[in-house]
């Protein structure tokens, strides 16, 4: 149970970190940068979902 | 079989973290690093900030709106350049006022050198005397301030109002 709490804490840190960077610097991103960020964000959550599924969530 | 499943789930975790690291890298390299400039215009006790590379600041054909200045009052300009790169930035900066494709006056012509991850500020003042020959017969005119260096040119359009709006005469009470 404790390990799940750590996973949850890590996930929250990831999301808040990306949220902070997005709030501060997304206005300076180029069009290519925005597209790559979108693709990587989709990939990040997809792989995270697969990981959580694999560990039995 | 169990070992394979374990590898798979850590592969997913690794890929997820790799995507996260990629996003961080894009925000830092594409969003943060670079040379950025901001213009502050102060007139009538009011300061307007124009962040040039900010995509949320409205612009038209590369020109930004600087506001409306009343004739006779000075406008103070503060141009800040931030060098967020690992090398020093050096360039010649010129600032001039234009109207209808004609240059009216040069305001700044200086060499700017900024060390890595540092910033510099260039200030100038625009008074109505410098525009008097052009604006004297008009109530309202638009002018363009061009901030030029070898790598970029910024255009800020502002209006100069000669006369204040005269309120209508009071209606006598019956």
Lowest mean pLDDT among A33-37, B55-59, B156-160: B55-59
Alpha helices in A1-57 (DSSP H): 2-25, 31-54
The CA distance from A55 to A45, in Å, is 15
pLDDT in tens, A2-21: 888 888 888 888 888 888 88
Q: Is B79:B94 a contact under the CB 8 Å cutoff?
A: no
Q: Could you tell me how many CB contacts below 8 A there are between chain A and chain B? A: 75
Residues in chain A with CB shorter than 8 Å from the CB of B8 are: 54
Judged by a CB distance cut-off of 8 A, whether residue A19 touches chain B is no
The CA distance from B35 to B25, in Å, is 18
The CA distance from B69 to B157, in Å, is 11
pLDDT in tens, B148-160: 999 889 999 988 8
Q: Helix or strand or coil: residue B135?
A: helix
Q: Do B27 and A29 touch (CB under 8 A)?
A: yes
pTM for this one?
0.76
pLDDT attached to residue B125 = 92
Quick check: ipTM above 0.95? no
Residue B1 has pLDDT above 50, yes or no: no
Q: Do A21 and B15 touch (CB under 8 A)?
A: no
């Amino acid at each position: 149970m404790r390990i799940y709490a750590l996973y949850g804490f890590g996930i929250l840190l990831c999301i808040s970190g990306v949220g902070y960077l997005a709030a501060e610097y997304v206005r300076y991103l180029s069009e290519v940068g925005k597209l790559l960020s979108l693709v990587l964000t989709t990939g990040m959550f997809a792989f995270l979902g697969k990981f959580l599924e694999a560990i039995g969530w | 079989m169990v070992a394979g499943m374990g590898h798979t789930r850590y592969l997913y975790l690794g890929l997820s973290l790799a995507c996260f690291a990629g996003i961080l890298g894009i925000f830092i390299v594409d969003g943060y690093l670079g040379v950025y400039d901001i213009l502050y215009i102060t007139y009538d006790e009011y300061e307007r900030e124009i962040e040039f590379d900010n995509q949320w600041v409205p612009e038209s054909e590369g020109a930004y709106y600087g506001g409306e200045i009343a004739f006779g009052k000075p406008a103070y300009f503060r141009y800040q350049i931030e060098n967020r790169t690992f090398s020093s930035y050096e360039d010649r900066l010129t600032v001039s006022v234009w109207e209808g494709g004609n240059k009216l006056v040069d305001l700044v012509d200086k060499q700017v050198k900024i060390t890595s991850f540092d910033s510099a500020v260039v200030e100038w003042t625009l008074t109505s005397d410098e525009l008097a020959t052009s604006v004297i017969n008009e109530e309202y005119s638009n002018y363009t301030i061009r901030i030029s260096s070898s790598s970029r040119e910024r255009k800020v359009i502002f209006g100069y109002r000669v006369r204040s709006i005269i309120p209508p005469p009071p209606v006598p009470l019956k």
